[in-house]
A and B are shown apart, each in its own frame.
Chain A
Amino acid sequence: MKNSLIFTVFAALLFLASCETYPYQQGKILYTNFCENCHMADGTGLVGVIPPLAGADFLTKNGEAVPCIIRNGIKGDLDVNGRIYSTEMAGIERLTEFEITNIINYIHTSWGNEIPIVEHLQVREWLKPCEKNTKPF
């Protein structure tokens, strides 16, 4: 009995410790699968064509627009770090609220980005008003 208790405590500790080292593991995997082709593994995008996510002022200025961009995509001129981008990004509708939250937090904490993390309830709010093909900001 006592042994199994100790075991559980250790298991939980181990679990927490491993969570500490990989805080946004799911976000990272989803990023690799759904975003990396365009925004690149290092978040730099493609000069003039695909905007960066690393060091992008858009993320802090228009943070509330990002969940809708991920879900519905975006079309039309977009200002990122003073440069205008106009290639269309297709939405990725199959991502859930949780998955979107995890991707955003991976982006917020990668490549030198130090943007506060977002809660999934916040993301849920931000997702509410976004309808297809409307500019969310």
Chain B
Amino acid sequence: MRYLFLFFASLTIIMGCQSSLSPDVLPMLGTPETGPNGDSIPHTIPDFSFIDQDSNVVNNETFAGKAYVADFFFIACPTICPKTSKQMLRIHDRFKEEPRLELLGHTLAPKYDSVAALNRYAHNLGVSSDKWHFVTGDQAAIYKMAPEYMNIALNDEDAPGGINHSGYLILVDKNRHIRSFCNGTDPDDVDRFMDDIQKLLNEK
């Protein structure tokens, strides 16, 4: 009898673990905010407005009714960005025909990464601005967005390339909530992330 109990107890634990490891419904990530009535609402990406590689204005409306993957990079970055760009490109290729998903890359070096420079970069990668926006704008405004997407971005003279930043890729749903993230330099983690994107797209 005792054994039976233990058996069932461990079974529940195992099953509980499994369902929390790969939930069918993705969690809401980030620090929750307090709503107007004192209620808790999930972290929400605030308003923003930047310019992409084709001089289009890109703001929250651009992604109305869509999910998007956001990251932070700069063209001359000597550290992790080429790797994260390569993984973003994998995501781009896998969801190329999926109109409900777009990509948003923020440059952390807007002084150098002008619209023209970003245009060349996108062209070299073979991608277009109706799927993958590379945005530039006011440096302070861009840096302020990084923590909203659970990323770090700091000017740091000691860091290679002068900018210290983290290479997380962030999945934002159509209600501006963060639903998944991954380490953009780790192809295996990105595989898991792409499954999460599919799960999100399957949600009603």
- A contacts, CB < 8 Å to B: 37-38, 40, 45-50, 86-88, 90
> Judging by beta carbons under 8 Å apart, are B82 and A90 in contact?
no
> Judging by beta carbons under 8 Å apart, are B86 and A46 in contact?
yes
Give the shortest distance, in Å, between A92 (CB) and chain B (any CB).
10
> Judging by beta carbons under 8 Å apart, are B121 and A49 in contact?
yes
Bound-state CA distance A136–B76 (Å) is: 22
Q: Which 6 A-B pairs have the closest CB atoms?
A: A48-B124, A38-B82, A46-B82, A49-B124, A46-B86, A48-B125
Which residue of the partner chain A has the closest CB to B185?
A: A37
Interface residues on B, range: 10 to 19
* CB within 8 Å for A47 and B76 given contacts A38-B82, A40-B82, A40-B83: no
Chain B residues, Cβ within 8 Å of A47:
89, 124-126
21 contacts between A and B (CB under 8 A): A37-B80, A37-B82, A38-B78, A38-B82, A40-B82, A40-B83, A40-B86, A45-B82, A46-B82, A46-B125, A47-B89, A47-B124, A47-B125, A48-B125, A49-B82, A49-B121, A49-B124, A49-B125, A50-B82, A86-B120, A88-B76
Which residue of the partner chain B has the closest CB to A84?
A: B124
Give the shortest distance, in Å, between B134 (CB) and chain A (any CB).
12
Bound-state CA distance A50–B75 (Å) is: 11
Give the shortest distance, in Å, between A64 (CB) and chain B (any CB).
25
**Chain B positions 108 through 129: 1 when the CB is less than 8 Å from some CB of chain A, otherwise 0:** 0000000000001101111000
Interface centre among B82, B120, B126 (most CB of A within 10 A): B82
**Is B166 part of the contact surface with A, judged by Cβ < 8 Å?**
no
Bound-state CA distance A88–B112 (Å) is: 13
Chain A residues, Cβ within 8 Å of B78:
37-38, 90
> Judging by beta carbons under 8 Å apart, are A37 and B89 in contact?
no
When A and B form their complex, what is the total count of cross-chain residue pairs whose Cβ atoms lie within 8 Å? 36
Give the shortest distance, in Å, between A67 (CB) and chain B (any CB).
20
Interface of A: prevailing SS: loop
Give the shortest distance, in Å, between A81 (CB) and chain B (any CB).
14
- B contacts, CB < 8 Å to A: 75-76, 78-80, 82-83, 85-86, 89, 120-121, 123-126
* CB within 8 Å for A48 and B75 given contacts A37-B83, A38-B82, A40-B86: no
Give the shortest distance, in Å, between A85 (CB) and chain B (any CB).
8
Q: Kindly list 10 other residue pairs between chains A and B, CB separation below 8 angstroms, not including A47-B89, A48-B123.
A: A37-B80, A38-B82, A45-B82, A46-B82, A46-B89, A48-B125, A49-B121, A49-B125, A50-B82, A87-B124
> Judging by beta carbons under 8 Å apart, are B85 and A46 in contact?
yes
Which residue of the partner chain A has the closest CB to B187?
A: A41
Which residue of the partner chain A has the closest CB to B124?
A: A48
> Judging by beta carbons under 8 Å apart, are B86 and A87 in contact?
no
Chain A residues, Cβ within 8 Å of B89:
46-47
Bound-state CA distance A8–B78 (Å) is: 45
Chain B residues, Cβ within 8 Å of A49:
82, 85, 121, 124-125
Give the shortest distance, in Å, between A86 (CB) and chain B (any CB).
8
Chain A residues, Cβ within 8 Å of B79:
37
Bound-state CA distance A49–B120 (Å) is: 9
Give the shortest distance, in Å, between B105 (CB) and chain A (any CB).
13
